[in-house]
Structure 1
Amino acid sequence: GTATIDHELWHYSIGQLYVFGYAQTRRNLDGCLSRLQVEAWVQGIVMPTAIASNWGSGVSVSFGAPVPSYGTWNSVSKHWLINGGVSWQFIGWGHGQASVVPRTTSTVSPCDNNEPCAAPSGGGTPDSPSPILVDVNGDGYDLTSAADGVLFDIDADGALDRVAWTAAGSDDAWLAMDRNGNGTIDDGSELFGNFTPAYPNQHERLSKNGFDALKFLEGPDYGPSYGDAVIDARDSIYRRLLLWTDRNHNGISEPDELVPLSAAGVLSISTDYKVSRRRDRNGNLFLQRAKSVVNARGVPVSRYVYDVWLSAIAR
């Protein structure tokens, strides 16, 4: 059916350096099995890129971000129709603009006119790093505290961070992708969390969390895929996904610690996640979870994988 695009950006409140936006795609149902997807961000700043997809007649995202200065700020959205989950049809771009003004200016805030508004959320993510963790053997997760963790550049800024980690000898593994093809997992941009690039070669466009990062992998930017909200062998990117089991607990990925997802028996990972909010004894927050299917001695078994917001020691 015919698809329509809606996109708006507002200044949150006079005097506050914050913008809030909304992007939506709607279509008339015509009996075709199709998904809609929308992706949105504010230009000119590093922020999580909002993404949502849905079977049916509509999908929308809301997004917010602090901005560094007063002035005019622009937002952009990409809108997709995925026919039968296979054929990606680009519907078009959405654009928004907002003037961020100091309190001394008499311009009226959208919030004062009863327009849609939301409280600032810092992008909607906790102030900690978040990589997806897979319990390979299904025997539970074993993570350390930050103090007993490792040095690893989790936020991909070129400096090592002291972060909680998998315990020595644990079979738990980080979901990873060697984006630059150098044979090692260099930093958090090659894991799947809130420091993962949403798009190839656009490192300023980050994902909100690890499962949102997987949603971007299903898009045409990463090659042919089956747009069904599941990463599996039907998606070309599946072949590049790895599990990193840091058995010696040194924060360095070594060749024998990196195993392709298929070889590890992980058949699929859903990108549709639920909020969990379970915290372990070391303060690590198991905030989002989604289902995976693993090959357990020849039998497909469903297990949860988690996006874990790790404890970290500030530099």
Structure 2
Amino acid sequence: MGYDARVSFEVTIREGVTREAVEAALKPLLDDSKFDLLDHDDSMEERLAALVDGILIVRADISAGYNFHDHIFLPVVEAVGALAEDAFEATLENQDTGDEDERYTTVLAGPAHLIPEYKTRAARWGLRVEDIHLPMSARGWPLEDIATRECMTIAAFPKDGHHTDAVSRVSVDLVGLDLDEARRDRIARLAVLLAREIAGEELILHPRPGYGAAERVLDAAGEVMRVMDAYDAELNSDAGRSPDGADYEALREVAKCRIERIRHEAVTRSNAIAAPAMEYERVTETSSAPRG
């Protein structure tokens, strides 16, 4: 007794691995189900194992015994994994059951150090990002609007507080990146997901446009110029003496300190400062805009 099953996987084989080695890895499956390793893909084959340009394709409808999973499927997947260039996913489908939990058995194989990256990619693309939305309690810009901005900030404030007291929790800077509309929307929704995780049920989210690294550096540079101008004006207004070397050395230190701050700002990309209030907000927000 057994069950109708399908074995399927596709994997890139390491360069230098011979066809004989691949065939040996598949041997338990090939012998048990009576088919051969081909050198071409054939969609008409019900039982297919093909090595084409370094890619092994297995797609086989078979009659499996109840020990097939442990005695054939797993050993074959493990043996092929030892020859693989990348991590891959192998699936054993029990076609005799309608129970989705029992129908599919999936195994990850391949180089152990690449499996975490494979899982990360699978999780990334398996996430239903289109289903992520701002909570109904959110204030500020709607999701579809912040997705159009080069920079976005999602701040949060306590339920008993006011949005002018919001603190930036997630800041995204897309300045200089060539991203299409769909990808920007995906990034905005992922930012919302992270912000919701941070805020939990205790905080209210407040999405806003944000300043990017370039804007923050320009702000810091402007501050340097203002400080230096003020220092120079103070020297020139000091009646009774002319500026000497010590004065200019102090001015140089001021410039050095402020320029180092600019460099640090550019490198670390610290929390964004919220942009001025949007036109359709009725409440004017000035110096109390969210800050990280």
TM class, shorter-length: under 0.3
Identify, as 1 or 2, the structure richer in helix: 2
Identify, as 1 or 2, the structure richer in strand: 1
What is the TM-score normalised by the length of structure 2?
A: 0.22
What is the TM-score normalised by the length of structure 1?
A: 0.21
